Amino acid sequence: MLPHTALVLAFSILLSLPVIVILGPTVLTQSHLHLPFSPQDELDDLSLFTLASTFHHHAPPQHKPSRIFQFSYQTKPKPKIAFLFLTNTDLHFAPIWNLFFHDQPTNLYNIYIHKDPSVNLTRPVEGVFKNRFIPSKKTARASPTLISATRRLLAHALLDDPENAYFALLSQHCIPLHSFPYVYRSLFFSTTFDSPGLTRPTQTHRSFIEILTHAPRLWNRYIARGRFAMLPEVKYEDFRVGSQFFTLTRPHALLVVRDRALWRKFRSPCYKKDECYPEEHYFPTLLSMMDPEGCTNYTLTHVNWTGTKGGHPYSYKPQEVSVELISRLRESNFSESYLFARKFTPDCLQPLLYIAMAIFKD
């Protein structure tokens, strides 16, 4: 009986080989992948997002966000810009931002910072960044932790001040390209900023977020979790890509923190790590599916992808910093100007401070 049993077992294994070859890599790889956050982190976020979704003033309709978000300038107080900083290092350009906000009315803006608690970051003891840190979780590039961190920033900003009307996501490598008054006027009052050459009687307020339909290796990124992993919520024809740095309207910020369905898909671990950049897909895909007309499809943060290394954009060095560089970085094919730019190495601070008057002279 033993030889017969061994023969049957060997034959069964032989028949199973095609299945193992086809499904094995996916199943085995996914079984060893773990979510980069704990169930407790998920519960904490869910409580925060639920609270932010229900406790607010300027609420959009429950069934879908408004196509055009109109502000009333006759009512007080005035709308504000929420500046959201996502960082895992020291805020090297804090002196530049201090100049940007210097002597500006504090009733026109708020600042929120999400820092990775696993890194040793020096908290500013003075200036506009003092005491502006929110409760944060660990983050990692090319992982859904960056989505969670961004949603936390949005949720805290929504809860903190009902007058936060625009939400600008920035990193520690970002610098302003204009003065605060220029940024504020462009977002809230200009009738031509988002559509140069087209003058409208009133400003229409849309979200400035890059949304690209076609990009190299988009299919590979779509199937990074498995060929059918994103279905049925996200079909390939709905899958989008774009810069993670955006400027959202309040209805769209609410839409992001309310989302559950797409988050369950994008939080899933990838088994193709070199094709997994969920932070570049989640926000463009969600807003493109829910309110395409409410988005400009471009960002206000300039980035240079020339000579990219390891998926990182080009970083400007001190010897490159000049008034001429700032002028070039402002140039946009979509809006009247870019408002922010990245990435700059930390040692660019002094050259940037040297030309700060030119930066803020619009």
Condensed to tens digits (0 to 9), the pLDDT of residues 173-232 reads 999 999 999 999 999 999 889 988 666 656 679 999 999 999 989 999 999 999 999 999
For residue 215, the SS3 value is coil
The predicted structure's pLDDT at residue 312:
84
pLDDT, mean of residues 30-44: 67
Q: Looking at per-residue confidence, does 334 or 19 come out higher?
A: 334
Q: Tokens 């609420």 map to which residue?
A: 59
Residue type at position 225: R
Residue type at position 235: K
Question: Model-level pTM?
Answer: 0.85
Between CA 255 and CA 249 the distance in angstroms is: 10
| Residue 362: pLDDT band with limits 50, 70, 90 | confident
Asked if 144 and 36 count as a contact pair (C-beta separation under 8 A), the reply is yes
The predicted structure's pLDDT at residue 38:
81
CA atoms within 13 A on the CB side of 313: 16
- Structural domain span for residue 238: 78-195+205-360
The answer to whether residue 270 is domain-embedded is yes
Asked if 80 and 104 count as a contact pair (C-beta separation under 8 A), the reply is no
The answer to whether residue 117 is domain-embedded is yes
For residue 40, the SS3 value is helix
The predicted structure's pLDDT at residue 254:
97
| Residue 35: pLDDT band with limits 50, 70, 90 | low
Between CA 341 and CA 175 the distance in angstroms is: 6
Asked if 66 and 251 count as a contact pair (C-beta separation under 8 A), the reply is yes
What percent of the chain clears pLDDT 70, i.e. is strictly above it? 82
48-51's contacts with Cβ under 8 Å and 24+ in sequence apart are: 48/152, 48/155, 48/156, 49/151, 49/155, 49/257, 49/258, 51/155, 51/159
CATH no. for residue 260?
Answer: 3.90.550
Count of domains for the chain: 1
Q: Which of left, alpha, beta for 59 (phi over 0: left; psi -120 to 50: alpha)? A: beta
The answer to whether residue 13 is domain-embedded is no
The answer to whether residue 29 is domain-embedded is no
Asked if 249 and 169 count as a contact pair (C-beta separation under 8 A), the reply is no
CA atoms within 13 A on the CB side of 35: 15
Asked if 36 and 145 count as a contact pair (C-beta separation under 8 A), the reply is yes
**β-pairing verdict for 295-297 and 80-87:** unpaired
Asked if 78 and 108 count as a contact pair (C-beta separation under 8 A), the reply is yes
The predicted structure's pLDDT at residue 36:
62
**Token pair listed for 79:** 């709308």
**β-pairing verdict for 164-171 and 175-176:** unpaired
Q: What angle do CA 169, 192, 324 make, to 5 degrees?
A: 65
The predicted structure's pLDDT at residue 39:
85
Between CA 124 and CA 238 the distance in angstroms is: 42
Between CA 142 and CA 282 the distance in angstroms is: 12
pLDDT, mean of residues 309-329: 93
* DSSP H/E element including 327: helix 323-330
| Average of per-residue pLDDT values in the chain | 86
The answer to whether residue 72 is domain-embedded is no
Task: Return the axis-axis angle of helices 250-258 and 282-290, rounded to nearest 10°.
Answer: 110
Q: What angle do CA 24, 35, 122 make, to 5 degrees?
A: 140
Dihedral angle at the C-alpha atoms of 263, 264, 266, 272, nearest 10 degrees?
170
